Structure 1
């Protein structure tokens, strides 16, 4: 049996006031899964995401992603890890309004030192595959919410990361745009992309994920694998 892409073992995260955001959580995610993480506010969803992304360190336990002990990385190594192995999509897009769509998508490649011609070819490929190539020279402010989220997904996939993290990716979208992004995530996962999706939206989790966990008070209360999707 192959090692999981994500291996979180007995992880606790405690803050100065003594509250435990995570309380001995263990989670393994196989390559190719689309995992939805649900739970009420304060259940530990964001903390888990930050630990997987190397943005925070556990008080106890280990976090391994793609064979790398993320909890042991230095600050500079963590930044390199995120550039090369993690693609992140946020609720509010986090696009730079003074850059064109293409230049926004190119940013991760520029930070990684990818040659310009190679990066430009990859950006054009992504924009075409995501159906937004006609907006390549436009600025994000001219696009709809759903189109901006597609740009954010293209940027996240620029360096071909083994893991895509989506934090409430439809939270700022209307229903139609949200379903559009959901279909995009489904298509990416069908092509083999591993996804960790944090959402309050049960319908989104059921539509996009192959597996759903629910966190309550820093532990996994439910872990359900979809029979069909």
Structure 2
């Protein structure tokens, strides 16, 4: 049987003296799945993503990604895990405006120790794959929102991650650019990329994922095929 890409078991996380941000969450994601995490602000979906990314640790429970116990990692090992096993895409791109597109994309590979020439060739390949190689020498500030998000995805894919995490990837985009990014995620998943998307965007969940997990008040309350999710699940 194929090993899960993500396996959370009875995971809880509480901040200060407030209610749990996440309460006894159990979730399994198989390789090649595209999963949307839906829920209102404060529901716990970003906490869930941060735990998978190793940016936070659970108070109780276990987090395993690609066979690695993420909840046990120290700071240095956690940083290495993020560089080598996962790619992350954010709502506001997080590109460096003083670097060209190709230099932004090359950066994760260089931080991972890949030789400059090898990293550059890999970056060219990824930019071509995503259809933005013509912008390789441009600066991010000269690109549209959709193009910048494509650059962010290219950067996230540089180290060939087993898992792609996207946090509100269409949240800062207009409708047309959002559809462009949705199509890109759909195409990547069709090629076998495992994807987890945190979003308020029901249309994104329906179009580019095959499964939707709903969170409310820190609890997983629904886990259904994306096309079966109702509008209420995104609120």
Contact 2:101–2:151, Cα closer than 8 Å, also in 1 = yes
Shift of the alpha carbon at 1:64? 0.2
Shift of the alpha carbon at 1:18? 3.5
The SS at the match of 2:137 is: coil
Matched with 2:55 is 55
Matched with 1:29 is 29
Unaligned runs of 5+ in 1: none
Do residues 111 (structure 1) and 111 (structure 2) align? yes
For normalisation by structure 2, the TM-score amounts to 0.95
The SS at the match of 1:24 is: strand
Aligned CA distance change for structure 1 residues 157 and 33 (closer, same or farther; 3 Å) = same
Matched with 2:170 is 170
Give the Cα–Cα distance (whole angstroms) in 2 for the partners of residues 223 and 170 of structure 1. Answer: 22
The SS at the match of 1:10 is: strand
The SS at the match of 1:197 is: strand
Give the Cα–Cα distance (whole angstroms) in 2 for the partners of residues 115 and 3 of structure 1. Answer: 32
Give the Cα–Cα distance (whole angstroms) in 2 for the partners of residues 149 and 142 of structure 1. Answer: 13
Shift of the alpha carbon at 1:117? 1.3
Give the Cα–Cα distance (whole angstroms) in 2 for the partners of residues 57 and 44 of structure 1. Answer: 14
Matched with 1:141 is 141
Contact 2:206–2:227, Cα closer than 8 Å, also in 1 = no
Contact 2:97–2:141, Cα closer than 8 Å, also in 1 = yes
Aligned CA distance change for structure 1 residues 170 and 227 (closer, same or farther; 3 Å) = closer
Do residues 160 (structure 1) and 160 (structure 2) align? yes
Tell me the C-alpha RMSD between the 2 structures. Answer: 1.0
Give the Cα–Cα distance (whole angstroms) in 1 for the partners of residues 103 and 2 of structure 2. Answer: 37
Matched with 1:197 is 197
